[in-house]
A and B are shown apart, each in its own frame.
Chain A
């Protein structure tokens, strides 16, 4: 009888312990996710303002999505430029659907990305693609590099090769 009681007690305290662990991990999971929720959701006019800047650093604007293989593959190049090149402002514009914001945030946290990330929630694509660049057919990845001080701009709509990004940035200096 006593043995049974002890046994029951151990089971009970063990489950309490487990519950605490569960609660703790749940809380820490929520906390880390909340604290890393850094993707800002914007509409096109906000991006347009960025594209019309007349001063400040060279803008490197990359259009990507978490589901786009070639986009994800080239992201480290943008991260590298963002870290090494202080006179360049890198902005990663996600074209994931707005209801996938959590997925984008989790992706950024997992890859430990430091560049500014925006989610462009503007589904009427035809209304704004030409305003970014006339020659853009809408395929991603696509990258716009713009120097606000001299007005020089270059645009690519393919996956960048190693070293290509640095050359493109040089070309607008």
Chain B
């Protein structure tokens, strides 16, 4: 009877723990693939990157000043890792709440900035919900294992939003370089101040 009671207590605690766990992926989780419209009109999935070793998925947008600060750094990451860990930017902001993030505005923005990587429109916000993305820019470095992609890093691009030259911890580059070298990712979770993703009104 005593054991039974403690078993119930343990089950109760387990339920509480599961309930308290925030939604979204953690490091080590396998991600579900998506199919989203790119600014060039084509549909893109992770499965399209057949020869890549992984991907750098970045929840981003047109309108957030922090995203704008990281624009050039994201373009540089895309160039540096185009054949190994391609950058895939996703805009999940609701154009209803943030008109500057409509698909048309995304097309214009990508053209002005000279994006060489996919910039996808997450119209239903399902992908952001699945990942547990909360702000922009919010990075998920994915490592390819067979045909699946697993989360290897979640967080910021580096430790200085304001000044790229002053950033002395380049989290994403360090993570990707480690993965390419077959090593463990040195820092697999970081946080940064960013704009909240503009969710559709409930």
Contacts and interface: CB of A to CB of B under 8 A. Distances in A.
Interface of A: 63, 65, 67-68, 70, 95, 97, 123-127, 129-130, 135-141, 157-159
Given A123-B161, A124-B159, A125-B156, A138 B65 contact: no
Contacts, number: 62
A137 B161 contact: no
- Scoring B138, B163, B194 by chain A CB atoms within 10 A of each residue's CB, the highest score goes to B194
Given A68-B195, A126-B155, A158-B196, 8 more contacts: A63-B193, A123-B159, A123-B161, A126-B192, A127-B159, A139-B195, A140-B195, A157-B134
Interface of A is mostly: loop
Interface residues of B, number: 22
Contact of B135 (A63, A65, A138): A138
B160 A140 contact: no
Contacts of B197: 139
B124 interface: no
Given A70-B196, A157-B134, A138 B160 contact: no
B22 A138 contact: no
A141 B193 CA distance: 10
A60 to B, nearest CB: 19
Interface of B is mostly: loop
Interface in B167-191: 169, 190-191
Contacts of A65: 65
Per CB-CB distance, the 3 closest pairs between chain A and chain B, nearest first, are A139-B196, A139-B135, A137-B134
A125 B192 contact: yes
A59 B156 CA distance: 29
A41 to B, nearest CB: 14
A1 to B, nearest CB: 62
A125 B159 contact: yes
A140 B196 contact: yes
Nearest to A137: B134
B162 interface: yes
- Scoring B161, B162, B169, B191 by chain A CB atoms within 10 A of each residue's CB, the highest score goes to B191
B186 to A, nearest CB: 13
A140 B191 CA distance: 13
A126 B134 contact: no
B159 A138 contact: no
Given A123-B162, A126-B155, A136 B191 contact: yes
Contact of B159 (A126, A135, A158): A126
Given A138-B134, A157-B134, A125 B161 contact: yes
